[in-house]
Amino acid sequence: MPGIAGNDGTAKASSTGPEQAITHQIGKLQITKLLADARLQQGEKFNLRAFHDFVWKNGNVPIALQRWEYLGLSDEVETLRVK
């Protein structure tokens, strides 16, 4: 049914499982923040292909841990520690 759901069925998928859309959006925001932080930290040395390859290679690793490894920033990992 073109117009409402389009040909890809995104409206139907979101209506049957909104948690998937929310999870996708949260992941997108986390990766966008990691990208922005990498660009700021690395400046002229930043390489988008290297960033992409790193995220792609470590896709199953939580973004907080990727951030720690890629940027050396443990701020998001520290919030996960049990006190």
Angle of helix 48-57 versus helix 18-42 axis, rounded to 10: 140
72, 41 Cβ separation under 8 angstroms: no
Q: 20-50 pLDDT, tens per residue? A: 888 889 999 999 999 999 999 999 999 999 9
Distance separating alpha carbons of residues 65 and 11, to the nearest angstrom = 32
* pLDDT of 9 above 90: no
- Give the model's pLDDT for residue 80: 75
Separation CA 24–CA 38 (nearest Å)? 21
> 63-76: per-residue pLDDT in tens?
999 999 999 999 88
pTM (2 d.p.): 0.73
Q: Which two tokens stand for residue 80?
A: 């996960």
The confidence score (pLDDT) of residue 53 equals 97
In whole angstroms, give the CA distance from residue 54 to residue 69: 10
**Could you tell me the residue ranges of all domains in the chain?**
10-78
